[in-house]
């Protein structure tokens, strides 16, 4: 199938019933999840993931991407109105968004946010679609040794770009890889770490692990935060939507530059929207000459930069997820789990026989932006109601959804135990600066990495030299060693 035919089939698939309805529904759910502090894209998608099981693969994946895209925008609502980012990707939006609300410009700020989100997200996606034919050639050149090394590079990158220490990040990733070995070995009939329990033969469910580490750990953390999340006295009806749109459109360079920053940072495993929006904000501060008002005191450019970058990161983080199985963020880690759940393996097939699914997923972000634009500009003053929910209300409901979602996937009590145990351990890990995302990635990437390692070693009669004799693989080995050495070199320089 040619790429053009795949793109056309992707468009046609997206606009069939009920796929389009799931996409719209996903965006709406995502906006609500994103606006609820403590929920956000990753957790929202993790809770919803098991519920997509009865859907066909395209509907399920389009729904998940809708949630992802909607949550990226939704996070700005609470960031602007109550100074509490709904998602990490909107953390920098509070810096100028909330001061704008306090200046009586809440509508302006939210209109800037929706305009920048939609344009930033669309710029990122369109660029990705233009580059895709070239990228596909590279992806199709990958074989087992390269896939194994890409997984290793991905795991090595995470603790460097994400917050936390290098050693603890690597330890988290290695633990995830080890946990993924529980159950029957992939290429031999050998039970591993099952304690003679049949329930463990199918291994630890990565979905249960995701739910435990993201949902339960996050809810325990949320319960420790003081005070309510609303009641700041900001009137969501103050200001002008039209002026907000005009302000956003008057800053095209900031918007496009921030979208590309988001795309580039989002493509780095472990980078994601949280880092992207801080980098874009820093860049807008650096580039500004005599800002009025000052940054941090309600400068609209700050909102434009952060919101264009977090939605711009969507395209960047989706590509490594579907091409190599390496997610750029917690949300794309869940998306990867969604691909596996629906029987799709990241890699060449998603750019060959199943390319129409890839195009349908990517185009759903573009179409989803239209939904965001309509909802953002028409319902935004009502959206402030979402932020009035207290954490005491959110916590038991989310724990319920998480546990019920976990049991509904395989009806296996091991999954409930996994959710609870990893939820508790995940909370203590977060408190002690361990990277939970690295842990999750280890669990998800483990089987892929093991299978490709064993297959590579079988090809080479057990020799690890195979990773050095193939040019692409050698390049990845060099990248892997370099990445591991970067923090050591930086520490030495300091």
> Of residues 281-340, which lie at the interface with other proteins (CB under 8 A)?
281-282, 285, 295-296
484 in contact with other proteins (CB under 8 A): no
The 425-454 contact track toward other proteins, x by CB under 8 A, reads x-xxx-xxxx-----------x--xx--xx
Q: Cα 290–236–288 angle (5° rounding)?
A: 15
Among 19, 23, 151, 275, binds other proteins (CB under 8 A): 275
N-terminal to C-terminal alpha carbon distance within the chain: 53
48 in contact with other proteins (CB under 8 A): no
Q: Cα 415–428–422 angle (5° rounding)?
A: 5
C-alpha 49/C-alpha 419 separation (Å) is 14
Give the binding range for other proteins (CB under 8 A) out of 132-140, 365-373, 380-388, 409-417: 409-417
Residues numbered 96 to 125 that lie near other proteins (CB under 8 A) are 98-99
Residues numbered 151 to 180 that lie near other proteins (CB under 8 A) are 159-168, 170-171, 174-175, 177-178
C-alpha 290/C-alpha 472 separation (Å) is 47
398 in contact with other proteins (CB under 8 A): no
C-alpha 282/C-alpha 302 separation (Å) is 9
147 in contact with other proteins (CB under 8 A): no
Among 7, 27, 72, 91, binds other proteins (CB under 8 A): 91
Which single residue is written with the structure tokens 């952060």? 306
- Strand locations in 252-319, DSSP E? none
Closest-CA residue to 272 (of 490, 434, 131, 87): 87
Least distance in angstroms from the C-beta of 368 to other proteins:
25
Least distance in angstroms from the C-beta of 80 to other proteins:
13
DSSP for 435-465, please give it: -HHHHHHHHHHHHHHHHHHHHHHHHTTT-TT
Least distance in angstroms from the C-beta of 274 to other proteins:
8
Least distance in angstroms from the C-beta of 421 to other proteins:
9
Least distance in angstroms from the C-beta of 138 to other proteins:
24
Give the binding range for other proteins (CB under 8 A) out of 68-76, 237-245, 319-327, 423-431: 423-431
Among 197, 240, 393, 463, binds other proteins (CB under 8 A): 393
With contacts defined by CB under 8 A, how many residues of the chain interact with other proteins?
Answer: 94
Residues numbered 339 to 368 that lie near other proteins (CB under 8 A) are none
C-alpha 160/C-alpha 102 separation (Å) is 37
Among 13, 78, 84, 309, binds other proteins (CB under 8 A): 84
197 in contact with other proteins (CB under 8 A): no
42 to 64, 87, 245, 331, 351: CA distances (angstroms):
10, 9, 29, 4, 25
The 209-248 contact track toward other proteins, x by CB under 8 A, reads -------x--xxx-xxxxx---------------------
In the bound state with other proteins, the residue whose beta carbon lies nearer, of 126 and 407, is 407
In the bound state with other proteins, the residue whose beta carbon lies nearer, of 56 and 433, is 433
Query: Does the N-terminal peptide bond of residue 18 adopt cis geometry, omega within 30 degrees of 0?
Result: yes
260 to 65, 163, 280, 316: CA distances (angstroms):
20, 22, 9, 9
469 in contact with other proteins (CB under 8 A): no
Q: Cα 237–239–240 angle (5° rounding)?
A: 105
Burial class (CB in 10 A: 0-12, 13-18, 19+), 439: buried
Residues in CB range of 493: below 8 A, 6 or more apart:
none
């Amino acid at each position: 199938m040619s790429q053009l035919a795949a793109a056309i089939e992707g468009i046609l698939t997206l606009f069939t019933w009920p796929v389009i309805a799931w996409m719209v529904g996903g965006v709406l759910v995502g906006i609500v999840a994103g606006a609820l502090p403590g929920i956000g894209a990753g957790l929202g998608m993790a809770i919803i993931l098991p519920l997509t099981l009865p859907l066909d693969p395209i509907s399920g994946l389009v729904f998940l991407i809708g949630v992802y895209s909607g949550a990226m925008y939704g996070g700005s609502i609470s960031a602007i109105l109550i100074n509490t980012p709904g998602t990490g990707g909107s953390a920098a939006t509070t810096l100028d968004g909330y001061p704008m609300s306090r200046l009586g410009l809440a509508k302006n700020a939210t209109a800037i946010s929706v305009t920048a989100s939609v344009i930033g997200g669309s710029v990122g996606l369109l660029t990705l679609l233009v580059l895709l034919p070239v990228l596909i050639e590279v992806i199709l050149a990958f074989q087992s040794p390269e896939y194994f090394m890409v997984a290793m590079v991905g795991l090595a990158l995470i603790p460097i770009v994400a917050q936390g220490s290098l050693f603890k990040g690597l330890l988290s990733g290695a633990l995830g890889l080890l946990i993924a070995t529980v159950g029957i070995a992939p290429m031999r009939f050998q039970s591993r770490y099952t304690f003679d329990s049949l329930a463990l033969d199918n291994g630890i469910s990565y979905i249960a692990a995701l739910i435990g580490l993201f949902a339960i750990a996050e809810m325990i953390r949320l319960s420790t935060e003081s005070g309510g999340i609303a009641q700041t006295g900001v009137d969501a009806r103050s200001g002008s939507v039209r002026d907000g749109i005009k302000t956003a459109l008057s800053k095209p360079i900031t918007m496009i530059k921030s979208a590309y920053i988001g795309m580039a940072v989002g493509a780095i495993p472990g980078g994601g929207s949280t880092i992207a929006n801080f980098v874009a904000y820093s860049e807008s501060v650096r580039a500004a000459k005599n800002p009025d008002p000052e940054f941090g005191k309600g400068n609209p450019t700050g909102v434009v930069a952060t919101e264009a970058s977090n939605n711009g990161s969507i395209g960047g983080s989706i590509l490594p997820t579907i091409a190599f199985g390496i997610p750029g963020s917690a949300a794309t880690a869940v998306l990867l789990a969604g691909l596996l759940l629906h029987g799709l393996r990241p890699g060449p097939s998603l750019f060959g026989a199943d390319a129409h699914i890839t195009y349908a997923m990517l185009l759903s972000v573009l179409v989803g932006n239209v939904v965001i634009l309509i909802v953002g500009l028409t319902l935004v003053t009502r959206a402030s109601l979402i932020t009035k929910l207290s954490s005491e209300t959110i916590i038991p409901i989310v724990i319920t959804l998480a546990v019920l979602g976990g049991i509904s996937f395989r009806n296996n009590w091991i999954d409930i135990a996994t959710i609870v145990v990893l939820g508790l351990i995940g909370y203590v890990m977060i408190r002690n600066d361990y990277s939970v995302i690295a842990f999750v990635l280890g669990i998800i990437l483990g089987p892929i990495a093991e299978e490709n390692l064993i297959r590579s070693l079988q090809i080479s009669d057990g020799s690890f030299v195979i990773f050095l004799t193939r040019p692409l693989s050698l390049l990845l080995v060099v990248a892997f060693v370099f990445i591991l050495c970067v923090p050591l070199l930086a520490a030495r320089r300091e």
